[in-house]
């Protein structure tokens, strides 16, 4: 499926008025990066059955573990880590020991305080990412989730990170603070940025899982057919406070709907409800309907 700005506007996927925006209602992300990646997902529908099914599996499996999902890394932790890499700091001692660490703390109190504050958040960050990797490693899990878990563990597989995973931020010494801070700035910056990106993507998919549960969406069955079709019962427009449910059936033998009614009777709402459901199905999201929706992803020429 391909989409343009007009379609996104007509379906209210994005809207300047929040209460009319699909994005606003299903945006249950906890981080800035997650919010922006969710916006990307909603603007880029999928175009193969396999991609849709894998995304459905990812969202559904995140839905089964979302109550166990750690609150850390929080958005605040991510912001602290990002700010640390941008902040100018006096060089740490080349040989960090008890004396040199205390001397650095005495001569560079502001830089030391920032380093200590960042390291405390960094411990939450790596420990939280390790927990997440364990949670999303699932038997018969989605390919993306298992690959993501494997990548997280690869990025964390460093000797200094192992020490950070075992550390307690309440009992950090000046020596360990400077060693961890120096490691973060000189040897773990790229890995941290990649882990933050992974965390943002997981936050976005987790938001879709939360929204599916909150609004009682049904995950549609997507089938490969020569002709596009859609079949659904109890289909409704979930942005309405008191929606009317519809039965929709369009296929090769029943391919015409004669839509009549007075002004303000709900004709446009019906069209938007069916269009939005088809669009949400192509994202891999659940849809507001009681039964299955079948929609063939269409290939469009470049």
Question: What is residue 291's predicted lDDT score, i.e. its pLDDT?
Answer: 57
Distance from chain centroid for Cα 157 = 24
Report DSSP state, residue 16.
S
- The pair of structure tokens assigned to 259 is 């839509």
Global pTM value: 0.89
pLDDT at 183: 97
- What six digits make up the tokens of 201? 């993507």
Domains, the chain, in order of start with CATH, read 216-302 (3.40.50.300)
What DSSP state is assigned to residue 92?
A: P
Rounded to the nearest 10°, the torsion over CA 13, 16, 20, 24 is: 70
- For residues 67 and 301, give the distance between their C-alpha atoms in angstroms, rounded to a whole number: 42
**How high is the mean pLDDT in each 10-residue block of the chain (302 residues)?**
81 84 94 97 92 95 94 94 96 95 96 97 97 92 94 97 94 96 96 98 97 91 77 82 78 68 69 86 89 41 31
How high is the pLDDT of residue 104? 96
3-state secondary structure of 218: strand
DSSP H/E element including 104: helix 98-107
> Using an 8 Å Cβ cutoff, are 247 and 257 in contact?
no
Closest CA to 280 of 9, 28, 42: 42
CA distance 34 to 215: 20
Give the list of residues 6+ apart from residue 272 with CB closer than 8 angstroms, or none: 10, 11, 12, 237
Q: Return the beta strands (E) in the chain as ranges.
A: 230-235, 246-250
Question: What per-residue confidence (pLDDT) applies to 302?
Answer: 31
**Structure-token pair, residue 88:** 């100018």
Torsion sign over Cα 199, 202, 206, 208 = positive
């Amino acid at each position: 499926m391909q989409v343009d700005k007009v379609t996104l506007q007509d379906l209210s996927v994005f809207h300047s008025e929040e209460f009319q925006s699909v994005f606003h209602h299903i945006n249950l992300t906890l981080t800035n990066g997650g919010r922006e990646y969710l916006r990307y997902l909603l603007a880029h529908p999928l175009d193969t059955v396999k991609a849709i099914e894998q995304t459905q599996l990812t969202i559904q499996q995140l839905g089964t573990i979302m109550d166990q999902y750690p609150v850390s890394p929080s958005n605040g932790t991510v912001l602290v880590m990002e700010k640390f890499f941008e902040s100018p700091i006096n060089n740490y001692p080349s040989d960090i020991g008890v004396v040199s660490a205390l001397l650095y703390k005495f001569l560079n109190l502001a830089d030391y305080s920032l380093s200590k504050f960042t390291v405390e958040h960094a411990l939450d960050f790596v420990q939280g990412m390790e927990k997440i990797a364990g949670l999303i490693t699932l038997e018969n899990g989605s390919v993306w989730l298992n690959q993501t878990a494997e990548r997280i563990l690869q990025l964390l597989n460093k000797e200094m990170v192992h020490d950070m995973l075992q550390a307690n931020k309440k009992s950090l010494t000046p020596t360990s603070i400077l060693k961890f801070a120096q490691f973060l700035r000189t040897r773990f910056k790229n890995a941290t940025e990649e882990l933050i990106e992974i965390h943002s993507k997981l936050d976005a998919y987790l938001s879709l899982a939360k929204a599916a549960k909150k609004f009682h969406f049904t995950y549609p069955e997507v089938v490969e057919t020569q002709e596009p079709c859609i079949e659904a019962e109890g289909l409704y427009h979930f942005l309405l406070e008191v929606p009317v449910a519809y039965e929709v059936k369009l296929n090769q033998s029943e391919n015409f709907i004669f839509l009549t009614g007075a002004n303000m009777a709900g004709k446009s709402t019906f069209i938007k409800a069916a269009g939005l459901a088809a669009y949400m199905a192509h994202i891999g999201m659940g849809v507001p309907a009681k039964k299955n929706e079948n929609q063939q992803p269409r290939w469009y020429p470049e």
